[in-house]
């Protein structure tokens, strides 16, 4: 009969009188090292005996020993189950030393921070966290219908694997959408569909970074997850100041290889890069052979005026990689984004995607393609723009009435958050900590800066802000600055 475990059990020859000890010892070791997980139902004694070619009495005796030692538990009428013995396992193997084991990893990963805890919604009555869109108004019934259609199509097509660059239908739909929404001219073949913008950054780091020599210039303050990806790949990260016109191009180092910018809604300050800075940045990149990574993460939500052309639209030197995501306009769990890249980079980026995970979720991509093509995306963005505009108006009005000059707003006409500078006497990080204790959740801009001294302020997100509670939340926040 089939072996009951995924690992081998090696028993001595019949008649050796060591079979019971060997069976007990190997099951005991498998429980301790986690190969047999807590709660796992063990095979019945007769079934295990038949599989191993031993007497049932031997298996019964081994189970009885494990039971007496507390490594398994018996449940009447249900069988024997592995007990929870995690507390008995040594935290570090006796032979291991942290310093020795640490050096098995690449240097960057030896001091990596712990993984962030997934964001929980509804935990704070006044929730102004950055980067969280409101997924509650999303038309899930439409998405359910389109997903079912995509699944039916897959069942008929019987596909093996998808295209590394992404579903042709989705790339066609995205190319059409961003041409209409952002004047970004591209063909479907210019694009690689990714698992969110973060994978696009990771793939670009793989193909653009030469460890130890590539210099990445980033906005300071800027977007830490991008910086972490490129630092892990071996790039040297250099911060460049941001003012009310965006990245200060004249302060870019001459040896810059890659420039990361968020020109449509700078993260986290919210400013829009001015036309003259855009021209200067493109000239800088073209003259030095540098690459620009343009992250257009939430520009769909614009509340006044006409959006400036994307850098990709203005580019005449094949220098810009345009990154977009559906995490902000739809919902983050979808994990779909895209990179539009110059001709010289297409094959390498597609190959990097293939080597990373072959391709993304085909069914989700086909559902999104239909969602865009049938006009649902445009309608949803239009609907959400009204919702966010109402919250933004309420937020700015509350700040004007309660802040009394303690919050200096950075200019911003787009996106899902606004930013404010604080007087030097009020420490942003300390204020955020005190606010959380009274149910107000927001973010300190200092934590987005390579040099924490370049900014002292807070970011106020619109995604989870209850419009009925915004005024009270800002009033309570300002009260904290008095004490």
pLDDT for 1 equals: 46
Query: Partners of 246 in the beta sheet?
Result: 243
Give the long-range contacts of residues 34-39, CB within 8 A, separation 24 or more.
34/89, 35/5, 35/6, 35/7, 36/5, 36/82, 37/82, 38/82, 38/83, 38/84, 38/85, 38/86, 39/81, 39/82, 39/84
Query: Partners of 459 in the beta sheet?
Result: 419, 443
pLDDT for 405 equals: 84
Q: How many CB atoms lie within 10 A of CB 105?
A: 11
As given in the structure block, the two tokens for residue 270 are 């919210």
Q: Euclidean distance between the first and final Cα of the chain, in Å?
A: 74
State pLDDT tens for residues 329-338: 999 999 999 9
pLDDT < 70 regions, the chain: 1-3, 86-100, 114-122, 158-159, 483
Give the Cα separation of 116 and 217 in Å (integer).
25
Give the Cα separation of 168 and 13 in Å (integer).
60
- Hunting for tokens 């010892």 — which residue is that? 25
pLDDT for 235 equals: 97
As given in the structure block, the two tokens for residue 290 are 């540098």
Q: Write down the mean pLDDT value for the chain.
A: 92
Give the Cα separation of 432 and 471 in Å (integer).
18
- Hunting for tokens 């769909």 — which residue is that? 300
Extended strands (E) in 276-416: 291-295, 320-325, 337-340, 408-409
**Residue-range domains of the chain with CATH:** 19-88 (1.10.10.10), 126-133+379-480 (3.90.1150.10), 140-375 (3.40.640.10)
- 3 state SS of 441: strand
- Hunting for tokens 């591209």 — which residue is that? 186
Say if residue 409 is exposed, middle or buried (CB neighbours under 10 Å; 0-12, 13-18, 19+). middle
Please enumerate in sequence order all residues whose Cβ is within 8 A of that of 160, keeping only pairs 6 or more positions apart, or say none: none
pLDDT for 311 equals: 97
- Hunting for tokens 């042709």 — which residue is that? 168
Nearest to 267 by CA among 410, 126, 428: 410
Give whole-number Cα distances, 332 to 138, 196, 320, 328, in Å: 12, 8, 25, 7
Give whole-number Cα distances, 299 to 93, 199, 204, 229, in Å: 51, 20, 22, 23
If phi > 0 it is left, if psi is from -120 to 50 it is alpha, else beta; for residue 461 that is: beta
**Omega prior to 221 cis, within 30 of 0:** yes
State pLDDT tens for residues 231-261: 999 999 999 999 999 999 999 999 999 999 9
51 contacts 4 by C-beta, under 8 angstroms: yes
pLDDT for 96 equals: 56
pLDDT for 100 equals: 64
Residue 14: alpha-carbon gap to chain centroid? 56
Query: Partners of 236 in the beta sheet?
Result: 215
pLDDT for 339 equals: 98
119 contacts 132 by C-beta, under 8 angstroms: yes
For CA atoms 378, 183, 299, 328, the dihedral sign is: positive
Give the Cα separation of 269 and 364 in Å (integer).
33
Q: How many CB atoms lie within 10 A of CB 136?
A: 10
**Confidence (pTM):** 0.82
If phi > 0 it is left, if psi is from -120 to 50 it is alpha, else beta; for residue 187 that is: beta
pLDDT for 107 equals: 85
Please enumerate in sequence order all residues whose Cβ is within 8 A of that of 108, keeping only pairs 6 or more positions apart, or say none: 231, 232, 234
HSE (CB half, 13 Å, CA atoms) of 130? 24
């Amino acid at each position: 009969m089939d072996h009951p475990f995924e690992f081998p059990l090696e028993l001595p020859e019949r008649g050796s009188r060591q079979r019971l000890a060997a069976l007990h010892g190997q099951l005991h070791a498998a429980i301790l090292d986690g190969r047999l997980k807590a709660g796992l139902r063990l095979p019945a004694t007769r079934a295990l005996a038949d599989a191993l070619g031993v007497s049932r009495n031997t298996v019964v005796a081994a189970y009885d020993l494990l039971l007496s030692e507390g490594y398994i538990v018996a449940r009447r009428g249900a069988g024997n189950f592995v007990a929870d013995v995690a507390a008995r396992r040594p935290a570090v193997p006796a032979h291991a030393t942290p310093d020795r084991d640490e050096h098995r990893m690449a240097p960057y990963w030896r001091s990596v921070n712990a993984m962030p805890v997934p964001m929980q919604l509804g935990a704070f009555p006044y929730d102004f966290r950055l980067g969280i869109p409101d997924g509650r108004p999303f038309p899930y019934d439409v998405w359910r219908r389109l997903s079912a259609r995509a699944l039916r199509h897959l069942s008929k097509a019987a596909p093996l694997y998808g295209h590394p660059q992404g579903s042709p239908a989705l790339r066609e739909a995205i190319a059409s959408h961003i041409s209409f929404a952002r004047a970004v001219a591209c063909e479907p073949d210019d694009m690689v569909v990714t698992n969110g913008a973060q994978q696009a950054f990771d793939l670009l780091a793989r193909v653009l970074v030469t460890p130890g020599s590539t210099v990445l210039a980033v906005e300071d303050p800027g977007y830490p997850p991008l910086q972490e990806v490129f630092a892990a790949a071996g790039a040297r990260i250099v911060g460049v100041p941001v003012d009310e016109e965006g990245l200060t191009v004249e302060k870019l180092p001459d040896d810059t290889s890659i420039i990361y910018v968020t020109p449509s809604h700078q993260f986290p300050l919210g400013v829009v890069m001015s036309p003259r800075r855009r021209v200067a940045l493109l000239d800088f990149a073209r003259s030095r052979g540098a690459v620009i990574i343009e992250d257009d993460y939430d520009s769909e939500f614009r509340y006044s005026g006409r959006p400036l052309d994307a850098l990709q639209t203005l580019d005449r030197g094949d220098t810009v990689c345009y990154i977009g995501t559906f995490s902000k306009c739809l919902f983050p769990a979808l994990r779909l984004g895209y990179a539009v890249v110059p001709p010289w980079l297409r094959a390498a980026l597609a190959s990097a995607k293939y080597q990373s995970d072959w391709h993304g979720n085909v069914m989700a991509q086909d559902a999104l393609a239909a969602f865009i093509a049938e006009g649902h995306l445009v309608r949803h963005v239009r609907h959400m723009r009204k919702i966010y505009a109402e919250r933004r108006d309420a937020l700015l009005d509350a700040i004007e009435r309660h802040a009394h000059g303690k919050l200096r707003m950075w200019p911003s006409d787009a996106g899902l958050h606004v930013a404010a500078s604080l007087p030097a006497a009020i420490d942003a990080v300390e204020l955020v900590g005190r606010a959380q204790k009274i149910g107000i959740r927001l973010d300190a801009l200092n934590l987005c800066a390579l040099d924490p001294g370049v900014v002292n302020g807070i970011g106020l997100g619109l995604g989870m802000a209850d419009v009925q509670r915004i005024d009270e939340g800002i009033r309570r926040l300002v009260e904290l600055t008095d004490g």
